[in-house]
Amino acid sequence: MQKMLGWARVGALVSCLFGSGSALAYTGAKWNLPEGVTEMSHEVHHLHMFVFWICVVIGIVVFGAMFYSVFAHRKSKGAVAASFHESTLVEIIWTAIPFVILIGMAIPAAATLVKMDDTHNADINIKITGYQWKWQYEYLGEDVSYFSTLAAESNRARQLNSGIDVYTVPNYLVDVDHPLVLPVGKKIRFLITSNDVIHAWWVPAFAVKKDAIPGYINEVWTKIDEPGTFRGVCAELCGRDHGFMPIVVKALPEDEFKAWLAEQKSKGTEVASAAPVAAAPVPAAVAVAAAAPAATEVAAAAPAAAAPAAAGKSKDELLAAGEKVYKTNCIACHQAGGTGMPPTFPPLAGSKVVNGPKDAVIQQVLHGKNMMPPFPQLSNDDIAAVTSYVHSSWGNKGEIVQAGDVAAARK
C-alpha cells in the first residue's frame, strides 16, 4: 500500500513536470497540442508541427552522425582523430545552416503572430475581467454582464474533508456556474484586464491565451468554427485559489446566441448572481430592491411604503440560501465551521464584528477589508442570505438581514 502511494505521487509529479497533466486531460489531447476549433488554432498547430518536424530531422542527422562516428571510428578499430582546426569552410557551413533554418521558422511564425494581433472589424466585443478568483464577462454595448465562478458541485467537493469522491463529480474543477456564451462564425474581440492581481485567460481550443493585468487592457480575438463547449483555466498563478477559476465557453449557432442574448437583456444585468438563489417566493417590494442597482431609489422608498411586506423572507429561507452563498464565496477563507485560518483569516464564530451591529457585516461584504475581497457583484438577496447565515451560525447571536437592508447599505 505504502509503495502504491509512493508511485502515485511519482506519477503526479511527472504529470506536473511534463506540461500540466490536467491541462492535457481536459483538452482531450494525449501527447500533442490540441488542433482546436478556430482558424488561428489550426495555424498555431501547423506551425507547431512544422517546427517539430524540423527538430526531428535535425535530431536524426546530428545523433545519426554522432552514433555512426562513435561506432565506425571506435578506438578498438585503431581510429585516429582527424584534425580540422580553423576550417573556414566548416565554420561558414555551421553558421549558415542554422541561420537559414531559423529564418525559415521565423517567417511563418511572424505572419501568424501578426494575424493573431489583428483585432480589427470585430462583430462582438467582450470585456473579460479577472478577479481573485472568478471571471467577469461584459458584452460591450449590450448591457449584459455577469460573473462566472467555479461550479457549486466542484466547490463543495474540493473542500478539505468534504467526504465527496471527486471522481464522481462531473467536470471536476473545470466547470462553472455561468459559462461565457459566444456565437460561432463571428469575429469576437476580447478585451482582457484584471481587478486585482495578474491572471491569464486561456482556452486551448481557441489558441487564445492572454494575460489579464490590472490597469491594462490586452486585446485578442477568436472566430469559432463549430458549436460546442470549450474549457480552459486561469494560466497565471494568482493566489491561493488560482486552481479554482476555470473557464467554460459555450459556442452556439448565431440564432441561438441571439436568442440567449435577448433573454439575458430582458433579465437585467444581475442575471448571473441573482439566478441561483432566487427560487424562493419573495414579497414584491423586496424583489424590486434586489433586482438591479438601478432600482435602489425604489428600494429605499420601499420599506416605509410597504412596512408589512418588508418583513421579507423567513429565517429558514434566508439561512438555507445563505449557506449556499457562504459555501460558494466565503468558505475558502473562513472555513466550514466558521473557524477561519488565523492569524490571516479570522474566525467568524464568536467574532466581534459579526456580533456587533448588523450593518458592519454588510459593509464588510460589500467593500471588503485588507485581505478580504469585496463582493458587490452578489445580489442583495445573496448578501442578505449570507450575512443572516453568518450571524446565526456557530453560536453567534443571530440577527436576520433582509435584501432591503443591503439595498440601503449600497447607497
* Residue ranges that bind Cu ion, judged by CB under 5 A: 199, 234, 238
Are 191 and 220 within 8 A, CB to CB? Answer: no
Q: Which does 181 bind (CB under 5 to 8 A by kind): Cu ion, ligand HEC, none?
A: none
d(CA 309, CA 303): 8
From Cu ion, ligand HEC, none, interface partner of 346 (C-beta below 5 to 8 A by class): ligand HEC
Cβ nearer to ligand HEC, comparing 309 with 353 = 353
Residue in this structure with the C-alpha cell 469576437, named with its chain if needed: 188
Alpha-carbon separation of residue 399 from 280, 351, 358, 389 (angstroms):
20, 14, 7, 9
The C-alpha cell that represents 209 in the structure block: 491565451
CB 241 within 8 A of CB 234: no
Identify the residue whose cell numbers are 458549436: 227
Report what 322 binds from ligand HEC, Cu ion, none; CB cut-off 5-8 Å by kind. none
Binding characters for ligand HEC, 275-314, by CB under 6 A (x = yes): ----------------------------------------
Is 244 near ligand HEC (CB under 6 A)?
no
Nearer to ligand HEC, 74 or 369 (CB): 369
Q: Judged by CB, which is closer to ligand HEC: 64, or 350?
A: 350
Q: In this structure, what C-alpha cell is assigned to residue 323?
A: 449557506
Rg (CA), the chain: 28
x-or-dash string of contact with ligand HEC, 164-203, rule CB under 6 A: ----------------------------------------
**Interatomic CA distance for residues 117 and 86, integer angstroms:** 45
**CA neighbor of 233 nearest in space, from 287, 343, 305, 154:** 154
For Cu ion, the closer of residues 181 and 238 by Cβ is: 238
Q: How far is the CB of 296 from ligand HEC (least distance, A)?
A: 20
What DSSP string runs through 115-127? HHH--TT-SEEEE
- In the complex, the residues that contact ligand HEC under the rule CB under 6 A are 329-330, 332-334, 344-346, 348, 351-354, 361, 364-365, 369-373, 375, 386, 390
